[in-house]
Amino acid sequence: MPRRARLILPGAPLHIIQRGNNRQACFFQERDRRRYLDWLTEYADASGCDVHAYVLMSNHVHLLLTPAFTRSAGDLMKAVGQRYTQYVNRNYGRTGSLWEGRFRSCIIQDRHYLLNCYRYIELNPVRAQMTTHPAAYPWSSHRNNAYGAHSELLRPHPLYLALGEDQPARQSAYQCLFQHELASDVIDSFRRSTNGNFVLGDTDFSLGVEEALMQRASPGRAGRPRI
Confidence at residue 22, expressed as pLDDT on a 0 to 100 scale = 87
Q: Are 134 and 127 in contact (CB under 8 A)?
A: no
Summarize the confidence of residues 55-76 as an average pLDDT: 97
Q: In 3D, which of 58, 15, 14, 8 has the Cα closest to residue 36?
A: 58
- pLDDT, one tens digit per residue, over 153-169 is 999 999 999 999 999 99
Mention every residue, 6+ apart, whose C-beta is less than 8 A from residue 179.
Answer: none
Q: At what angle do helices 184-196 and 110-122 cross, to 10 degrees?
A: 100
Torsional sign, CA 211, 189, 16, 85? negative
Q: Report the pLDDT averaged over residues 172-182.
A: 95
Residue boundaries of the structural domains of the chain: 14-207
Q: How confident is the model at residue 217 (pLDDT cuts 50, 70, 90)?
A: confident
pTM attached to this predicted model: 0.93
Query: For residue 191, what pLDDT is reported?
Result: 94
User: Per-residue pLDDT for 59 more than 80?
Assistant: yes
What pLDDT is attached to residue 23? Answer: 86
Q: Please check whether residue 37 is in contact with residue 30, taking contact to mean a CB–CB distance below 8 angstroms.
A: no
> For the chain, what percent of residues have pLDDT higher than 70?
95
User: Which residues, in sequence order, are CB contacts of 71 under 8 Å at separation 6+?
Assistant: 47
Judge contact between 96 and 189, C-beta under 8 A.
no
Question: Which pLDDT score, from 0 to 100, does residue 220 have?
Answer: 61
- CATH code given to domain 14-207: 3.30.70.1290
For 178-206, write each residue's pLDDT tens digit.
999 899 999 999 999 999 999 999 989 88
* pLDDT score, position 2: 55
